[in-house]
Amino acid sequence: MNKFIITIILSFLVSCSSKSQSKEIRINNLKTAFKKNDDKAFFQNFPKDYDQFVKDFGWNDNLDTSYTLYNESKDYIDRFFAILSKDKTNKSLTSIIDIGIDGKYQADGVNYFKFNIEKLFTKNPSLVCNLLKNRRPDDIDSFWYFYLDSPQPLTSVPDYLQSLKNECGNVFISLEKQLKIIQKENLVSEVVDESKTNKLKFLNDFIPKNYLVLDSLSVNINQDNLLDKIIVLSHKEEFKNNESRLFMILFNIGNNNYSLKFKSHNVIPCLKCTGGTGGEESYSDLSFKNNILSFTQLKIIDSNLIKIRYAFLNNNIDFILNEVNTVNSDLTSNNFYKNTIIPKNKIALKNFNYQNYTQYLRQTAKITDPDGYTNLRKEKNTSSEILQKINTGSEVQVLDNSGDWWLIQTKEGKKGYVYKTKIKEE
């Protein structure tokens, strides 16, 4: 082989290795700074752009797995914004713009980061002008696209950003432009052709080309005595192309006309998107009763069939995750395991993603027994066998918090019950 080519290949390999090592060092420094409450080192090692942010806190779509700090993303993002709040000069806030440029919607860490930006802007709208007015036009456009991108995009400029019209004309124009782009992208993706985007009216208008109605409910969601539609659509060739199902909520506005309330590709998985061979269905039991929207996700991992029942409470026409019930059955035996979680954090249907189902099943808590420890018991009573003594302050994983006795798992992997007054969710 030509020596020149060999030199180039070696240089490339060394460069890739160096970048990998540099990333690992930065993440280790970030973890250390987080544990030691070292704000300066934490800020220095926090991601500087969107790509870096996702590779720390996001989901790897190619490998269908999480990146390094995915499970801790909320805690790290909270720390980041807490540090920003201490900066009276607001100079460090430019970092949120840097991270937003070239960004797009992702559930979990990315969405939580956007949520914190929104809280910041809602509380202090004048920051928006100061942070964006001197940026390049392309960067302003890119940031707004990231800020607005959502499975359920806004239909108008929020009230707290209306002041930009007078304070920062160029920033407001960019905001309006990106809002229209996202609305158009969102709508065009759900209709047969672009010419119909302003004429959506009848039920069939909302069904995209090459999609079929797989499931449908006619229910009164908004208490107007008109039957709205909850629909699951599947691609005609989903078994071949592994496309997720499309979940839609359409409001009946009278005379058999409808308006789109909600749509997402992240609610119902395709046949082969949950670990099976494709011969098993991926969901069942779509229902809307007593103001609760629910469905069961079916997932196969090794020899285990996992049934996860998600229940969303209709809260002012917005669905919030209210309860998660799980049955884990071993297909090679008659053994099964049940648990129920009442989510501590309010997770909206629009932010729900079936791919990351484990985040809805697990919560951390700390033992708070004033005696200095509490007993982990085999059954739900004080006379049951003691499996382990857990020291006060120890972190455990909550598997079921629906009754007086909570089912938990210790760091050592032991599962048992602790009385609810001896434990506190974080």
302 φψ region: left (φ > 0), alpha (ψ -120 to 50), beta (else): left
Asked whether the predicted pLDDT for residue 94 surpasses 90, the reply is yes
Q: Determine the Cα–Cα distance for residues 409 and 400; give it in Å rounded to an integer.
A: 10
Assigned CATH topology for domain 363-425: SH3 type barrels. (2.30.30)
Question: In the structure, what pLDDT confidence band is assigned to residue 363 with cuts at 50, 70 and 90?
Answer: confident
Are residues 320 and 347 in contact, defined by beta-carbon separation less than 8 angstroms? Answer: yes
Q: Which two tokens stand for residue 191?
A: 């209709």
pLDDT on residue 301: 65
Q: What angle do CA 84, 87, 88 make, to 5 degrees?
A: 135
Domain limits, the chain: 23-188, 202-355, 363-425
DSSP 348: B
Element (H, E) at 36: helix 3-36
Query: Is 0.85 topped by the overall pTM?
Result: no
Asked whether the predicted pLDDT for residue 116 surpasses 50, the reply is yes
The length of the chain, given as a count of residues = 426
Side by side, the strands of the sheet bearing 386-391 are 386-391, 373-377, 415-419, 405-409, 395-400, 363-367, 423-425
pLDDT on residue 361: 65
Q: What angle do CA 117, 321, 287 make, to 5 degrees?
A: 140
142 φψ region: left (φ > 0), alpha (ψ -120 to 50), beta (else): alpha
Asked whether the predicted pLDDT for residue 239 surpasses 80, the reply is no
pLDDT digits (tens, 9 = 90+) for 312-348: 999 877 888 888 888 877 767 666 667 777 776 678 8
CA neighbours closer than 13 Å in the CB half-sphere of residue 242: 6
